[in-house]
Chain A
Amino acid sequence: MTTQAVSVDVAGPADEPAVPDECRDWLRRVADLLIPASETMPAASDAGVAARQLDVVLRSRPDLTHHLLRAWTLTVDTDPPEVMAELRALDPTAHDALCLIVAGGYYTNPRVRGLLGYTGQQPHVVGIAEDIDEELLSRVIERGPRYREA
């Protein structure tokens, strides 16, 4: 990566990740090949993977910015369908980082999480031992000790 390659067209507030618009365009094309639309799920770009969700990812993981810019610079002249194979050969770290950026942006999108029915990381008040079947436990005890005396 050259300094010149990353210094163009960088705009936005000081806390916005420094990713040029051209890089976002490139990411949009590559990301849609990794996560295309299905009958029920949006494509990566429609989920904002190269836009707002990219900012979400890079704010939480600023270390990935460098890998993204390197991946873009290495493959800027590569046809999008060949990008991942080329990165895997040229720079596996950048390849893995790009997968993480795309998936990270996609699966932190609230709409995507809603479509998946994902309700994790939410507090749930649970009853104490309410789902333990005492009959099943009794049969474990009836089968006798499992340990060796020592």
Chain B
Amino acid sequence: MEQAEVLIIGAGASGGVAATALADAGFDVLCLEQGTWPDRAEFPAQRVTYELEARKQWSGSPNVRRNAGDYPIDDGDSDIVPLMYAGVGGSMTLYAADWPRLLPSDFRVRSLDGVADDWPLRYADLRPYYERTDVAFGVSGAGGDPAYPDGAEPPLPPLPIGQTGLRMARAHDRLGWHWWPAAQAVLSAPYAGRRPCVQYGACMQGCPEGAKASTDLTHWPAAIGKGARLITEARVARILVSRQGLATGAEFVRPDGSWDIARADVVILAANAVGTPRILLNSASPLHPQGLANSSGLVGRRLMVHPFANVMGYFDDDMASWNGHVGAKITCYEFYETDPDRDFVRGAKWSLAPTGGPLNAALPTRAGEDAWGPEHHEHVRRHLGRTISWGIFGEDLPDESNAVELDSSLTDSSGIPAPKITYKVGANSRRLLDFHIARATESLREAGAYDIATESLMRYSGWHLLGTARMGADPATSVVDEFGRSHDVPNLYVMDGSVFVTSGGVNPTSTIVALALRSAEHLVANRRQQRIPA
């Protein structure tokens, strides 16, 4: 049996940030992580088979990858496949490290646009935490972006924008449209003992340099140095709750298959917006028959995943467009805010990313079509290095019918019920993407593209898992308060993307970690008032 003051479930982005803050404050912290420590020597970036491995053992889908630490997900009723990674560092191991913040309007969607809900906090409340997590993770970027309010500059200068970024910047200059060097959690210079990016262009299968930020590099070593304990290959089945309604710990499975208990005064869920509701629903008991912390009925509901479109332009010039960091070279917020003249509300952020290597050019992935036989070489020549791609993340409005539930028969290898995802793309999202695809096409034509290919609503794009334990002030309409504390179980916290009220239209990791830092420090500051089991 294990025991700690604070038990954290999940060693990913938010788990690492919370553990560091709590260990710094002197708490006895224990973390249970279902995956293992990443081994950078195993990352495939420098192998010629990199693109082959990206489609299997380094896929973002646990159903494709099937690592020992993964659990299966029934995604047959979902328009978009959920993507994630189990291990220390969590999905940061495979993320693109695009590091935008939510915008002020993202926190006031109901007030401004009459849809969804406002958050119980504003951009100004979160800005100090954004700035501190930027420093902790080592963010590269350029200050002064007029898409955001003023604030501290990123700690490092921007990464190169490359031939493709410069070409599109000039096009947007002619159009009078916004563009800006994208903020990335990738080092442009040596920082905190880590080496800078050397432009492998393989961020989404792990960064062998360690230039891309992930908490196994940026947080866990410090947290462990302060006494935090991290048990890997530990699979949590459920949270245990006393008759007094307090969390008392968790039941978990060790790698040898034996079951064990971790007792704790406070439990923090940091298992992502699929894993967290899975554990809460698996924690149902006679006292909590609908699952733990679920008096609102919203645990697992309002799943948001950011519908994604890829618009690719074909150019005559060889721009070596496979090169560079994957998140974004430049970004565009020209059409992010609601415009009453459009037939949808809210908007999307655009990211300019590399377009992949020869296998990606040859196979019908992204916007490429199937071409074999005598046309094959011309097909590859057109794609490889001669394409520029705008990736478009549209805001996904919450819908209670989009949900994470427990599958009636599917389990992981320990027999723990697996999640089932039901998700349909809404009408607003479809109109939003149609508009943005048309504008991105204009952008690429202005830059000189002779042809355009579009892939809308890409199925394998579900990186941004949000909203399944939303925060709010009212226990009837939310699962946790603005600091992630359960309305129902006062010593149970959620500190991952589950707490998002709305999705915004940007990559969420910077907001997830800023919220986690804010919540963890609130817990520290209010430790005297924290109810704990006797």
Contact = CB atoms under 8 A, between A and B. Distances in A.
Nearest to A99: B363
Interface of B: 45-53, 55-56, 103-105, 107-108, 111-112, 122-123, 142, 144, 146-149, 157-162, 165-166, 169-170, 173, 176, 178-181, 188-189, 197-202, 209, 318, 320, 322-323, 333-334, 336-337, 357-359, 362-363, 372-374, 376-377, 380, 384-385
Given A60-B53, A84-B372, A126 B158 contact: no
A120 B322 contact: yes
A42 to B, nearest CB: 10
B373 A56 contact: no
Contact of A129 (B49, B147, B157): B157
Contacts of B46: 121
A118 B181 CA distance: 25
A121 B50 CA distance: 9
B180 to A, nearest CB: 6
A145 interface: yes
B146 A144 contact: yes
Nearest to A104: B52
A35 B108 CA distance: 54
* Most-contacted residue by chain B among A118, A130, A143, A150 (CB, 10 A): A150
B357 A124 contact: no
B52 A140 contact: no
Interface in A1-60: 33-36, 38, 40-41, 56-57, 60
A120 B357 CA distance: 7
Contacts of B157: 128-129
Interface range on chain A (Cβ under 8 Å from partner): 35 or more
Contacts of A145: 146-147
Given A124-B199, A140-B179, A61 B49 contact: yes
Interface of A: 33-36, 38, 40-41, 56-57, 60-61, 63, 84, 99-100, 103-104, 106-108, 110, 112-113, 116-133, 136-137, 139-141, 143-150
A121 B53 contact: no
A118 B357 contact: yes
A35, A133, A143, A148: most-surrounded residue (chain B CB, <10 A)? A148
A118 B373 contact: no
Contacts of B52: 57, 60-61, 100, 104, 108
A150 B49 contact: no
Contact of B178 (A121, A133, A143): A143
Contacts of A112: 358
A123 B209 CA distance: 10
A119 B320 contact: yes
A150 B362 CA distance: 46
Contacts of A124: 198-199, 323
A56 B159 CA distance: 34
B180 A147 contact: no
Given A63-B56, A146-B178, A141 B49 contact: no
A102 B98 CA distance: 33
A61 B56 contact: yes
A131 B162 contact: yes
Nearest to A81: B373
A143 to B, nearest CB: 7
Given A33-B373, A118-B322, A107 B358 contact: yes
Contacts of B104: 147-150
Given A127-B160, A129-B188, A146-B334, A118 B105 contact: no
A123 B207 CA distance: 12
A131 to B, nearest CB: 5
B55 to A, nearest CB: 7
Contacts of B112: 148, 150
A104 B56 CA distance: 13
A126 to B, nearest CB: 5
